[in-house]
Structures are given as C-alpha cells and as structure tokens.
Amino acid sequence: MVSRVGSGLTSFAFDVWVYQHTGSITQFAFLTLAITLPGICIAPIAGSIVDRWSRRWLMVISAICSSLCVLTVGILFALGHLEIWHIYLAVAGKSLFSTFGVTAFRASVVLMVPKNRLGRASGLTQGTDSIVRLVSPALGGILLGILKLPGVILLDFITFIFAIIPLLILNVPELPHTDNTEIDSQDKSLLSGVVEGWNYLLTRRGVLMLVFLRSIYNGAIGSAMILVTPLLLSLTTPAGLGPLLSLAGSGMLVGSIFLGVLGDRQANLVNIIFISIFLGSCGLVTGGMRPSLTLFTISGFFFALGIPLINGCTQILLQRKVAPEIQGRIFSMNNMIATAFPPVLAIAIGPFADKVLEPLMDFDGPWSQGIGQLIGSGPGRGIGLLFILIGLTTLLSTLIVYQYEPLRRLESELPDTVDFSKENQVA
C-alpha cells in the first residue's frame, strides 16, 4: 500500500503540472490517453504471458521497470530538460509494465485465497485502492508545494521498495499443471493463447456481457477523471484540490467496506453492480448541476462509492466462474475491454469541452441564458454540462444492458470453478 500511495502522489503531481503548464483540457486528456492506451494494446499478450510464466517474478519485474519510468521524469526535471511529451512517454511506459503486474496479481489471488473468502480479499484490495485515492490527493497537494515535482518523484521511487521486498519474501504459489487441453497454453504460441482466451469469453455470454458492462462505467470514470481536475481548478486552488478529491474519494473506502461484507455472503453480485452504477450515474448528474464545491463533494462521494463495488464484484465473479488456468488471459481481456473507452473519450472529450461547451456556457455564450439559467454559466460550466450528459448516457446504457438475461442469471447458471487454494495450502 505504501508503494501505491507513492504512485498516487506522482499521478497527482503529473496531473497538476501538466494542466498548470498548458491550461488545456485537451493536453490534459492526452495524459489520460498515454496512461491507458499502452496497457490496452499489450493486455492480450500480457495475459497469455501471465498464464505461462512465473506470476511472482512478473510482478517484481513490473514494479522495477515502472519505477525507472517515473525516475526518468525526475532526472529530466532536475536537469531542466523536462517537456510535456516526456511525461506522456513515462506514464505510457509505466502503463505498459503495470499491465503485467496487475494481471499477474489478480490471477494469483484465486491460488492463495479460498473461494468462500474471495469477497473479503477483493474488499481488502479495493480498500487499498480507496485509501490510496483518499490519501494521495490531499498529501500530494501538500508535498507538491513543499518538495516540488522532483521531490515527489523521488519519494515515489523510494516507496517502490515496499512493493518489491514482499514479493521476494512471500510465497506466491505457481499455477498447478492442468490436463485441460481447451485452455492449457504452455505448449502453444502467445497468439494462440490470446485466441483461446477470446473464444473462452465468446462461449460464456454472461461473462462477456459482464466485462462490457464494466467497460461502460469505466468510460464514465475515465471521462470524470479527465474533467474533474479542470472543473475543480475553476472553483478552487491546487492546494484546495487535493482535500476535495480526498473527501469525494472517501466514498471508495465506504464501498470497499460494503464489498468485504457482501462479497462473502450469498448476495446477488450482478444486482450490486447495477445498483452501484445507478448511484454513480446519479452522482455524475448532480455533480454537474451547480458550481458548488459542497454539491460536487457529496456527488463525488456517491460516484466513488460504486467504484470498488463494481470492480470488486466483477473480480469476484471472474475468479469464481473462470478456470484459474486461463484467468491471466481473461483478466487481461477484461482490462483491455474495460479500459477501451477512456482513450477514445480522451481524444474527443478534451476538445469538445475546450472548444465547444466551455464557449457555449461562458458568461456571454449562446447558452448562458438558456441552460445557463439552470446550471450556471462561466468557467467550468461547460464541463459541468458534460458531467450531466455523461451521467445520463451511462444510466440509459446500463438500463439497456440490464435486459440481457444471460448476465442477470450468470451466478445461477454458470458453475463455479475448482478451489485451487486448498491444493496450495495457503490462507
């Protein structure tokens, strides 16, 4: 968790530095593109590699390479040669290497944790993410003012030690040998492994639609992440930005607690996902209604509340319903599909907010006397309108997907897989 906080500090520092030095939502959106696109491109191959190589060592190598990408930015800044595109390249490299580490971790959980404790494990994982999102912005706002960008980067590099040492000490079980020729990729090419993973999804329509449902909400999350910093900086200072993001992000911690409680019980996880998306969509709509920090913080809380529930319940269902021998490929494809929307939206949303909605919603803009009477006009109101549109679109899309019966009946119709954790005598 210490390493994750360090990475969160650097991400916050990069966000603020890029926006302050460009003042452009479009340039800020390209940062999101650089963070997500490389991971999407490498995900299928990463999953196939995770299913055949040591997951433990993949996590170690991933952490080392990611730390070097971040350190490079700090060195360039210290030498006075840092450019915007350097940050784009660094976060792209980190995204590339992190994809291997994250996929290996998720595929290893089912080997270490009993099936009836996957909910608790997922709650702990999402709880760690929540604490990182809660602490990083508030701490980042303080440290960025004291240590500046190179100091924050150096601190992040030091915290990577806390990620690597446990992996070298702890026992991470390897995948037991399987006689299932349908999904065993040990003697096949990487490309064949990718094709097998995709075919596995196609024959399980409920699982495939679950992945697509998560991608819909991930598109909303990606859009919000692109827009939230410019929106709040139109209402407050960088020093005030961090605490506000932390307050809103506290919803993730609450959601993680709910996940730890509900995940191990016989709750309908698919319904929990739908309810969480509904709450999050409403949070997006209300967050864009008025230029109010209080309203945005409350709305952000409910938006963040659903994130660990959606991600955690999806992870539990995949761990229960997908054979461990192929989980690397399925988790990587889940990540690829779920994160496919943000890069596309990053290309479109930045210019759309910058060049279209912001001028329309300016004090003397064409819509200031119409829609502006309802949601306000001036800087940031075009972004607020976009929040509303994204929330309504997400809500409508989710209602349509809910009509798909194989997804609603996923838990009852698709049997659980073997509990490999008992063989490994872990947990």
Q: How far apart are CA 10 and CA 87, in angstroms?
A: 11
Would you state the torsion angle of the CA atoms of residues 12, 14, 20, 21, taken in this order, to the nearest 10 degrees?
Answer: 180
pLDDT in tens, the chain (427 residues): 677 777 878 888 888 888 888 877 778 778 878 888 888 888 888 888 888 888 888 888 998 999 899 899 989 988 888 898 999 999 999 989 988 888 888 778 777 777 677 777 777 777 777 777 777 777 877 788 788 888 888 888 888 887 788 888 877 777 665 555 455 555 456 677 678 778 888 888 888 888 888 888 888 887 777 788 788 877 777 777 777 777 777 888 888 888 877 766 666 888 999 999 998 899 889 988 888 888 888 888 888 888 888 888 888 888 888 887 787 888 788 878 877 776 777 677 878 888 888 888 888 888 888 888 888 888 888 888 888 998 999 899 889 988 888 888 888 877 877 554 454 444 4
CA 136 to chain CA mean position, Å: 15
Residue 93 pLDDT: 92
Residue 425 pLDDT: 42
Place of tokens 């706002």: 141
Residue 401 resides in a domain: yes
Residue 179 resides in a domain: no
End-to-end CA distance of the chain: 20
Residue 109 resides in a domain: yes
The count of structural domains within the chain is 1
Residue 338 resides in a domain: yes
Residue 426 pLDDT: 42
User: Which residues have CB under 8 Å from 312's CB, separation 6+?
Assistant: 119, 122, 123, 125, 126, 256, 259, 263
Q: How far apart are CA 76 and CA 304, in angstroms?
A: 35
Residue 198 resides in a domain: yes
Would you state the torsion angle of the CA atoms of residues 5, 6, 10, 12, taken in this order, to the nearest 10 degrees?
Answer: 20
Contact present, 421 and 427 (Cβ < 8 Å):
yes
List the CATH number of the domain containing 287.
Answer: 1.20.1250.20
Residue 254 resides in a domain: yes
Contact present, 270 and 411 (Cβ < 8 Å):
yes
Token pair in block for residue 349: 């949303």
Residue 342 pLDDT: 67
Residue 133 resides in a domain: yes
- Find the domain containing 125 and state its range: 2-172+193-424
User: Which residues have CB under 8 Å from 214's CB, separation 6+?
Assistant: 273, 310, 311, 314, 334, 337, 338
Contact present, 335 and 50 (Cβ < 8 Å):
no
Contact present, 155 and 6 (Cβ < 8 Å):
yes
Residue 396 pLDDT: 92
Residue 89 pLDDT: 93
Residue 363 resides in a domain: yes
Residue 184 pLDDT: 52
